[in-house]
Structure 1
Amino acid sequence: MTESREHLQTLTEIRGLMERSTKFLSLSGLSGVSAGLIALAGGIVAYLRLRTNWLTVFESEQYTQNGRAILSYRALFEFLAFDAMAVLIGSLLAAWYFTSRKARRQGQTVWTAASRRLLWALLVPLGVGGLFCLGLVYHRLIWLVCPTMLTFYGLTLLNASRYTYRDLEYLGLCQMGLGLISLFLTGYGLLLWTIGFGVLHIVYGTLMWYKYDRPTAGHTTA
């Protein structure tokens, strides 16, 4: 029995070494929580600025509410672009901080072959999705930006899950589901965007922290 346990432990260690060489396992659950909180803040700021269903009515060059002009198209785009960039930059900084902190605690570095593969898997679909959103804005189809962001982000997570924890796949599927729902309920675009990038990130990050990051958590495999 003792010899069998030793063999099992050896196999477990070998498997862990192989996974660390092919997958980036320093992704922190707190990164997801912080990104979700930042996205919630961004969604609340947008709601307080617009005070209506998101971008459902356009007349000429004005965004209107009950027939009253509120923002020009350009002013509206500039505000939303600034808000989205603030959320993106804040989320990236928080993700880098918590992930690098976890890597240091594990005695590893963030920049590895596995992290480079993960980064590439993230950048390609995100870049295509970003350009697609710019095309929608160019053609004044801005009410389709939220569904597009959620859908492409879900595809991005699904693609990246091959190089890190497989749990990321479930978050990606949920994001794509919200994106498809948002496509048919454009009046609730801001709400669904906030749920996807805010609430789901917080839930996912909390579960990931509980499963992989908390001090009593074991070295669960991906």
Structure 2
Amino acid sequence: MRVVVRFLFRFLVGFLGLSIALVVLFKFVPVPVTATMIMDGNGITKDWEPLSNIDRNMVRAVIAAEDGKFCTHDGFDREAIENAIQQNAKGGRIRGGSTVSQQTAKNVFLWQGGGYFRKGLEAYFTVLIENIWGKRRIMEVYLNVAETGIGTYGAEAGAQRYFGKSAALLTPLEAARMAAALPLPKERSVKNPGGWLRRHGNTISARIGVVGRDGLDACIYD
């Protein structure tokens, strides 16, 4: 029994040390690859760009579409989580309450899919990046590792794929259409969306102005 306890203790200490070391490393170094990329059978197209080379429209579109409280929460939007739990209890399409911080933690350090164990690790890494990276770095990493299309990762690769231009030159509508497709990039069309997806993209495009007006991206640029 003592041997088992000793092993578990060493494993825990090793895990904590390694995880903290990786988070500190990726505060300064671009994330080279993620589990999602490795397991993608469609190959990997990516091009890391600093946030200064990604148009502010893209940042605001992500906040408008994914996480309106990004600058004010501590990594977890408890109201969104509670609403998701209530909606999911009613049945129908499963809704998530994850913030950009949680999605970044999952994308960088973990794997896709659910389960309480993975969600627990996601919460742990979310706390780490919120306290070690800060908001600007979280957004920068998210916009470089998020899947933006089939075998395509990051805002720059997505902008080049869909619009033939740099992510530094995205218009509000282009950024909004990319953000609208982020939850299901393999299934949602960016260039020629129709029906609900087109309307959703237009709504996000309009909200970009609200994000700017209300300073919802202030934690990133101030």
Return the TM-score normalized by structure 2.
0.27
Greater relative CO, 1 or 2 (CA 8 Å, sep 6+): 1
Answer with 1 or 2: which has the greater Rg.
1
Normalising by the residue count of structure 1, what TM-score does the alignment of the two structures yield? 0.27
